[in-house]
Structure 1
Amino acid sequence: MLELTLRSLEVLALIVVFATAWSLIPRDEWWVRDLDFPRLQILSLGLTDLVLLLVLPTPWDIWRGLILFLLAAALAYQIKMVIPYTMVWPKQVKQVTTPHPDQQICMLVSNVLTPNRKHYLLIEQIRKHQPDLVLTLETDKVWEQALTSIEPDYPHVVRIPLDNLYGMHLYSRLPLEQTEVKFLLSEEIPSIHTTVTLRSGKKVKLYCLHPKPPSPTEAYESTLRDAELLIVGKHIASVDQTCIVMGDLNDVAWSRTTRLFQRISGLLDPRVGRHFVNTFHASYPLLRWSLDHVFHSPDFALITMQRLPDVGSDHFPVLTRLQYMPSAQAEQQPLDVDASDYQEASEKIKEGVEKAEKSVTDQIIIEQ
């Protein structure tokens, strides 16, 4: 019985090692990139396995020692990837100690899940927290009609109702200007680019995104998702404005692409040094990771960022309150960026544009 237990634990260790090594392959196919997501789960599984292997009362041999070494190396890598999103890591964004309400902006981001008809649950959260901005994703005409009840409090609205799971609506108490709906790489995937004016009069550039995830049912590769994020990141770096990026990015904070986006754009992540804010999947507590994000320029500081209760979707909403604070820039440094980062971003964007153009050409051929 002990021998069977040992062999089972060794097989589990090799699975953890394989999953970790597989995630390092520089490929865009979903069956590679999806292993970016469950790092917390792989880490938890591996740590449990390591403890059991160490305490199991069976004789040691070279094979067991090798497996333990490989498992420890895999766990060290997984810890390296996720530890910045815990309290043991230095905070990337400082906490506001002196509030100035006219310099604040509160945002609620919610992927509602199109078939979800529990509209009242999201509306309850909006009424309760009174955010300045509400960004809803996967919203169709039915959701648009249900959310008309909040419009008296949110006079500035951008409506993009779609039935393809990529509808998007932005509701704002604060004035919006220079609003554009862009389809950066796909005519099916919108994004909102606008400027919101704080109560103090400060203008903030706002980008609302929801690219396709790499998955067998959505996009075979992550190429277009990665390119869309990096296109926005390069644009942000070129204009050098106070800005916020928010939405369901269908990527985790610790992925190579998201970290590259942060380096290229110079934006900060308020979760670093605090907590994960895992928003997906709402129905499976042991299978959750952070897909819904808020990034901002270094002239903002954090008041609060929290996951809100279940609203009937597969995502939890996220509520984030920031304060414009130019003095924070002296203490909040963006991640270091070098020439290789710009080169990598340019290559990924080029690949994404070429793939998008080929997709359009293929569609024309099919239609003909």
Structure 2
Amino acid sequence: MDTFEIIALCLNILFLIPTIASITRFDQWWIRAFDFPRIQISVGIIITCIICCFAYTFTSAWQFTALTLLFLSLIYQGIKIYPYTYLSKKQVKKYHGNDTDAMVSILISNVLTPNKHPERLVALVKKRQPDILLTLETDKRWEKELEVLELEDGYKYTVKIPLDNLYGMHLYSKLKLLDAEVHYIMQKDIPSIHGMVELRNGEKISFHCLHPMPPSPTESYTSTNRDAEILMLGRDLEKKDEKILVFGDLNDVAWSRTTKLFQEMSGLMDPRIGRGFFNTFHTGYRLLRWPLDHAFHSRDFNLVEIAREKSIGSDHFPMYIRLHYDPKAMNTQEELELDKEEEIWAREKIIDAQPLEKNIKIPRSMN
């Protein structure tokens, strides 16, 4: 075996590890980290396959086996990310009308607490004029900087949770907020916001803002708490429920097992499916980006616009989405199915996490 063949074999083995790790149900941070860079892993596998084709002599069975496993690994990764390519069928239909009273626009921005350029976010808000602005990682300094939005841009409905631990959260709304409450589901210093927002036509929409802790060596050695917070909301939202919005930085990618299971449990739709990745993290590394910021909604919404905005100096790009509420959309958009075995796994995950709150209060519209 020459040097070139040894290098090819090492790469072959190396790029099998992410797929093998992803198939397991272990929740150690370094295993769950392989959920994130599936695009980059796929590219690496393709390059490795090409190298192996030149390096291997194909005179031994192990060479055929190694390359076959690598090819199967590529198929596995491709299946995971395919729904978020333009080749896939769109999960949410496009709205082309002008019924603005039934529309709601949302801007999600993880600002990065040390970011010294609040004026960039303020400029973006003034340009986009979203009905709802959710900021994450905002502390007292950011709260003071964003007061201009309340004074000049009409964001008179607010929920403010300034924290210095990178989990501060501020909600600003031009639309009336009803029964908005702050919950600490998994930990006493990691909040979430739950309530209702009233559209201009009087429809009341249930909303939920999340920012769970990610699995990482510096924050949480496992993904258990993150997964449980996301899955608890999916469990407590009934699939038959209407008028629901869930948005925030979930610290999880769109194609992960947890996020997909959350969708299946809640019945909520992902407007990115069939439209692109919309990678929001990391702004500083063009080749290492994945979608961490999300906006899900019930089947009675159609999509008006979705966009990843320009950098505001954070490590996250802001995410903008505009939706149109229409009860008739329920009849035209496919309902998601839940695998019972996966549901059992989700409930076990929630129990293992030992959440501070046993249930999430879900505001429900009476109109």
What TM-score, normalized to structure 1? 0.93
Partner of 2:65: 66
Mapped partners of 1:107, 1:20: distance in 2: 35
SS at match of 2:263: helix
SS at match of 1:80: helix
Letter of the structure 2 residue corresponding to residue 18 of structure 1: I
Cα displacement (A) at 1:4:
2.7
Encode CA deviations 1:126-179: one digit per residue, 9 max, x unaligned: 111111110000000000000001112211111000000000000001000101
Deviates further, 158-167 or 31-40:
31-40
Mapped partners of 1:207, 1:239: distance in 2: 17
Asked if 2 retains the 8 angstrom alpha-carbon contact of 1:106 and 1:320, the reply is yes
Partner of 2:120: 121
Deviates further, 107-116 or 322-331:
322-331
Partner of 1:332: 333
For the pair 1:350 / 2:351, whether they are aligned, the reply is yes
Encode CA deviations 1:177-234: one digit per residue, 9 max, x unaligned: 1010011121011000010011111110010000000000011111111111111112
Mapped partners of 2:168, 2:201: distance in 1: 31
Partner of 1:211: 212
Asked if 2 retains the 8 angstrom alpha-carbon contact of 1:175 and 1:197, the reply is yes
Partner of 1:365: none
Encode CA deviations 1:295-351: one digit per residue, 9 max, x unaligned: 000000111111100111110000001110211111212321143333222211111
Partner of 1:299: 300
Q: Tell me the number of residue pairs that the alignment of Structure 1 and Structure 2 aligns.
A: 354
Asked if 2 retains the 8 angstrom alpha-carbon contact of 1:264 and 1:341, the reply is no
Cα displacement (A) at 1:57:
7.1
Asked if 2 retains the 8 angstrom alpha-carbon contact of 1:99 and 1:323, the reply is no
Letter of the structure 1 residue corresponding to residue 232 of structure 2: I
Summarize the alignment of residues 1-368 of structure 1 with structure 2, pairs less than 5 Å apart. Answer: 3-54=2-53, 56=54, 59-62=57-60, 63-152=62-151, 153=153, 154-237=155-238, 240-353=241-354
Cα displacement (A) at 1:73:
0.8
Cα displacement (A) at 1:266:
0.5
Give structure 1 regions of 4+ aligned residues with deviation exceeding 6 angstroms.
none
Asked if 2 retains the 8 angstrom alpha-carbon contact of 1:106 and 1:319, the reply is yes
Partner of 1:360: none
Asked if 1 retains the 8 angstrom alpha-carbon contact of 2:29 and 2:222, the reply is yes
Mapped partners of 1:298, 1:113: distance in 2: 32
Mapped partners of 1:73, 1:58: distance in 2: 18
Mapped partners of 1:99, 1:48: distance in 2: 47
Asked if 1 retains the 8 angstrom alpha-carbon contact of 2:157 and 2:175, the reply is yes
Mapped partners of 1:79, 1:256: distance in 2: 14
Mapped partners of 2:67, 2:192: distance in 1: 47
Mapped partners of 1:250, 1:262: distance in 2: 16
Letter of the structure 2 residue corresponding to residue 273 of structure 1: G
Deviates further, 322-331 or 290-299:
322-331
Mapped partners of 1:95, 1:269: distance in 2: 13
Q: Note closer, same or farther for the CA distance 1:34–1:348 as it changes in structure 2 (3 Å cut).
A: same
Q: CA RMSD in A?
A: 1.6
SS at match of 1:237: coil
Cα displacement (A) at 1:9:
2.4
Letter of the structure 1 residue corresponding to residue 57 of structure 2: P
Mapped partners of 1:52, 1:96: distance in 2: 46
Encode CA deviations 1:48-68: one digit per residue, 9 max, x unaligned: 2212333x2763222322221
Asked if 1 retains the 8 angstrom alpha-carbon contact of 2:4 and 2:55, the reply is no
Letter of the structure 2 residue corresponding to residue 252 of structure 1: V
